[in-house]
Structure 1
Amino acid sequence: MLRTKVTAVAVAAAALAMALAAVMSYRGVSDLVAGELDRGLEDRANTVVRLLTADLTPPPRDDMAEQVLSADGTVRTLTPGGPRLPVPAGALRVARSGQGESRADLVVDGTEYGTLTRPLPGGGAVTVGQSYAGAARVDDAFLWRVSGTTAAALALSALLSWLVLGRILRPVRDLVRTTGHITATRDLSTALPPAGTDEIGRLARSFETMLTALRRSRAQQQQLVQDASHELRTPLTSVRGSAELLQRARGRLDPRDEEQILTTLVTETAALDDLVRELVDLATDRHTDEDPAAVDLVGLAEDTAERHRTRTGRTITVTTEGPEAVRARPRALQRCVDNLLSNAVKFSPAGTPITVHVAGRGLAVRDRGPGIAPGERDAVFDRFYRGPRTQATPGSGLGLAIVHDIVTADGGTVFATGADGGGAEVGFVLPPGAPAVRPAGRRTAPTARRRRPTP
């Protein structure tokens, strides 16, 4: 659970910070207490030496033990009823030499003392011992208090982290719940929870963008299925009717009628084959795995025009006007030009010329057909669209839709206009690309001035 994990991380970080602060504070207090004990011991030793030099007896203190040490090691206690301090070698050396000082930590009857031995002016030395019992109590009290405070702070930080993270992660829980509902019901119309401006809000908006794309994709798929079923129904009905007629007649038909029915079957089957092929291309976009590259539009137009000249025997001219290299998927772009020329051949009367014009980053194909009405110039790129003037012409109405999808996927635009003197001009404009190198020996089409400005 994300909330638990984040809370655990927050509490662990807080525990580490508090433990480090507690250790540093404890060491600082311990050093401070130790320094105060040393200064107190030195002050007491100086006071005792001055009082003994003046033949005065120092007043007793509960936490102190004093004694006079002679040069021969004899000890005289100055604190009535106080403990007798052991005599370390350093203290005896000070008493005999009358110089220096000696410090030592001693344990007497289970109580630890810090001792300081200093020489007396008349010989011998005085040893002052300070009990560490009070300092130990302070040290223990501080340690327990710091530990308790740290534990309470950790508990409070864990509670606050849990509550605050619950509020922060509420949009994530709502998003998870909504996406789970969408996954279970496959209802893409379900609205996602409102998004904020932070990282979680950006995540929610990314999900919304993805969901919008899925909705659009599903709608397009449904529309494609509906349009395809409608377009397939007519040729299938014709094929079925012709086949049933042949089945019922069983050789009793006039040869001319039988030949006509067989011709209809072949024609409708070919139309079905073309329609299915274009549907597959449109639905799968088999060229999406291509990497965009710099494409020479003039060379592409010349190669495509040559294939169509050989195939159809039509006059197809390629003209140029300041051509530029474009960036697109080469095979997909070739399919676009193929479709444009196939349309032009199909709608142009026999014997009329077809022109492919490359200007800048654009390519346009002009035919001499029935033309395109101003109100249809956007609709011709819709799937299965057939204008009133082209209803009797064979075709699926998918060629320009494929052109539109390929060109727009590469960041370009498509256009369709009427042409002077009749016919239509259909083409596209693509984004700029790196300069393309024309292979040696390639034919160069004659340049012709056109009214269309360079895109």
Structure 2
Amino acid sequence: MARTAGAGRPGHVTLRSKITAVVVMAAALAMALAAVMSYRGVSDLVRAELDHGLGDRMHTVHSLVAAGLTPPPRPGMTDQVLSDRGTVRRLTPDGPRIPVTASALRVARTGQGGRVEDLVVDGIEYSVLTRPLPGGGAVMVAQSYEGAARVDHAFLWRVTGTTAAALALSALLSWFVLGRILRPVRNLARTTARITATRDLSTDLPPAGSDEVGQLTRSFATMLTALRRSRDQQHRLVQDASHELRTPLTSVRGSAELLQRARGRLAPEDEEQILATLVAETAALDDLVRELVELATDRYTDEAPDTVDLTVLAEDTAHRHRARTGRTITVTAEAPLPVRARPRALQRCVDNLLSNAVKFSPQDTPVALHVEGCRLSVRDRGPGIDAADRDAVFDRFYRGSRTQATPGSGLGLAIVHDSVTADGGTVFATDADGGGAEVGFALPPYEPGPDTPAVGRRLRKRNQSE
């Protein structure tokens, strides 16, 4: 059974694990930030409440001591009176003795100002507030932070525990949800791995949804369709090529074996005929191999599309064929429009059309090349094309019933079809008025944009005016 590429390998980190880790880290960062802010906010609130309570206690103790009264004790707080000589009278007998600092003694002696200090007494932190009395001396009120520390510690542990539990829950939920989200990706990966292992391009892909994974699946399906078509075309090309090569190879081999057996015993005219057959069949083989290479490799696939003037292309091609064959080739144009195509590939198409027309036309008849808009056609005076053959003539190695005896590879129009359709165009073949055939192609018009060079715009304007 084919395994998904990379799945189950030691040390392999899956996409699900990576995304889960990212989600958990993002959640951890957010929760940590929220916990720190909450902790600081609670600590500041507790500290403010303690300071407020310390201030209220100082007001009460200060008023009662100034009136000669003894304030009632309050849990967590210690009160004492400090004289200007530094002696201490404790107002809370059960409370700890608060150390007298230099700043507190200064308040008692000068009778001015007030002082808040944090002191540690018997291992417990206190906040001490000192305020002068009207008759001299000062009142010292100390509040223990022990309760606040317990609250702070409990809150810290609770926040930590809650954050850890939330992180664990988010990790589990992320792992579960991501598993369901990535299930189509895993199915697609398993299917593509199976296709890679079995080379079976007919394997069905998982159903495609409407999300990005569905788009990826549809893209894979389009790619598989193109691969299937390409492989089928390659198989058909190999089969057709082997069939077409067999006839000339058999002729060449038979002629060569005859010459080998005869070894000079043939009459000169027979030997000349056999040699002529060898040359003709070898030339046919050369043309066939060249056409096969042209069709199989598509040398112009990497050629960049450009603006092509069909009238100029037709004139150039007709001029070369006139010089090569001595035939009469006319070129006419009616409201020609520029097209966007691969120039050299399009040149090859027109060459093939003219070569076919010259080959199938009688020697003393003209060949007409006509451009109308974005349509180019070549008309000959040959045997014409049967209605049943008009689509099939563009197939590889196909020959109509009227052209079976004419030499050729049967690949010229197939090259025209493949090149034109690759540029978004269409091909056609029909009988011409007055006899013969009319074969050609049509390409989409080239529409210049705002960034089109001025040369291209002038070319289109000139062609339209003609």
Q: Counterpart amino acid of 2:44?
A: D
1:335 Cα deviation after fit: 0.9
- The alpha carbon displacement at 1:392 in A equals 0.9
| Residues 220-235 of structure 1: pairs in structure 2 closer than 5 A | 220-235=233-248
1:100 counterpart (97, 113, 123): 113
What are the superposed Cα offsets for residues 2-53 of structure 1, whole Å, 9 maximum, x if unpaired? 2221111111111111111111011000000000000000111111122223
Q: CA deviation at 1:104?
A: 0.9
Which residue of structure 2 aligns with residue 452 of structure 1?
none
**Out of 259, 262, 282, which is 1:269 matched to?**
282
2:337 & 2:224 partners in 1: Cα distance? 38
- Helix, strand or coil: the match of 1:388? coil
Residues 244-271 of structure 1 show CA distances to partners (whole Å, capped at 9, x for unaligned) of: 2222333333333333222222222111
Match of 2:233, SS?
Answer: helix
Q: Does 1:169 align with 2:194?
A: no
Q: Partner of 2:250 in structure 1?
A: 237
Pairs aligned (count) = 440
Measured at CA, do residues 70 and 209 of structure 1 come closer, stay the same or move farther in structure 2, by a change above 3 Å? same
- In structure 1, the residue corresponding to 2:399 is in which secondary structure? coil
Q: Counterpart amino acid of 2:133?
A: L
Q: Are 1:62 and 2:75 matched, yes or no?
A: yes
The structural deviation recorded for 1:374 is 2.1
Q: Does 1:254 align with 2:271?
A: no
What SS does the aligned partner of 2:207 have? coil
Decide which of 333, 346, 351 is 2:364's aligned counterpart: 351
Deviation at 1:198, TM superposition (A): 1.7
Looking at structure 2, the residues matched to 59 and 268 of structure 1 have their Cα atoms a distance apart, in angstroms, of 129
- Once the two structures are superposed, what CA deviation does each residue of 1:54-107 show, in whole Å capped at 9, x if it has no partner? 333211123111001122222100001321111223322332333332111111
Residue 26 of structure 1 corresponds to: 39
Q: Answer with 189-198 or 208-217: which moved more.
A: 189-198
* Aligned counterpart, 1:285: 298
Counterpart check, 1:211 vs 2:211:
no
**Unmatched 5+ stretches in structure 1:** 439-443, 448-455
TM-score by length of 1: 0.93
Give the match for residue 150 of structure 1.
Answer: 163
Give the unaligned 5+ runs of structure 2: 1-13, 449-455
- Give, in angstroms, the shift of residue 436 of structure 1: 7.7
The answer (yes or no) to whether the contact 1:295–1:436 under 8 Å persists in 2 is no
Alignment partner, residue 129 of structure 1: 142
Deviations 1:300-337 (A, max 9, x none): 21121122112211111111112222222221111111
Alpha-carbon contact 1:365-1:425 (below 8 Å) kept: yes
State the distance in 2 between where 1:80 and 1:356 align. Answer: 124
- Distance, in Å, in 2 between the alignment partners of 1:106 and 1:259 is 127
- 3-state secondary structure, aligned to 2:383: coil
Which residue of structure 2 aligns with residue 451 of structure 1? none
Distance in 2 between the 1:98 and 1:330 partners?
Answer: 104
Cα distance in 2, alignment partners of residues 276 and 61 from structure 1: 111
For 1:186, the equivalent position in structure 2 comes to: 199
Equivalent residue letter for 1:16 = L
CA RMSD, 1 decimal: 1.8
- Provide the C-alpha distance between the structure 2 equivalents of 1:293 and 1:199, rounded to a whole number of angstroms: 34
Alpha-carbon distance between aligned partners in 2 of 1:436 and 1:129, rounded to the nearest angstrom: 93
Give % identity.
78
Tell me, in whole angstroms, the C-alpha distance in 2 between the residues paired with 1:420 and 1:42: 115
The alignment partner of 1:390 has SS state of coil
Alignment-derived partner of residue 295 in structure 1? 308
Aligned mates of 2:30, 2:337 — CA distance in 1: 64
Letter in 1 for 2:277: T
Q: TM-score, normalised by structure 2?
A: 0.90
**Secondary structure at 1:156 match in 2:** helix
In structure 1, how many angstroms separate the alpha carbons of the residues matched to 2:309 and 2:118?
A: 95
3-state SS of 1:35 partner: helix
Displacement of 1:394 after TM fit? 0.8
Q: The residue matched to 2:402 in structure 1 has which SS? A: helix
2:158 and 2:312 map into 1 onto residues whose CA distance is 87
Match of 2:154 in 1: 141
What is the CA distance between 1:389 and its match in structure 2?
0.7
> Hey, what's the Cα distance between the residues in 2 that align with 1:283 and 1:184?
26
Q: How far has the Cα of 1:437 moved from its partner? A: 7.0
The 1-side partners of 2:242 and 2:71 are apart by: 118
* Inter-partner Cα distance in structure 2 for 1:211 and 1:420: 44
In the alignment, is residue 38 of structure 1 matched against residue 38 of structure 2?
no
Give the alignment partner of residue 96 of structure 2, picking from 62, 68, 83. 83
Q: CA deviation at 1:372?
A: 1.3
Aligned counterpart, 1:453: none
Question: Partners in 2 of 1:382 and 1:199 — Cα distance?
Answer: 38
Partner of residue 307, structure 1: 320
More displaced stretch, 209-218 vs 81-90: 81-90
What's the CA shift string for 1:324-374, capped at 9, x where partnerless? 222222211111111111100111111011111112122111100111122
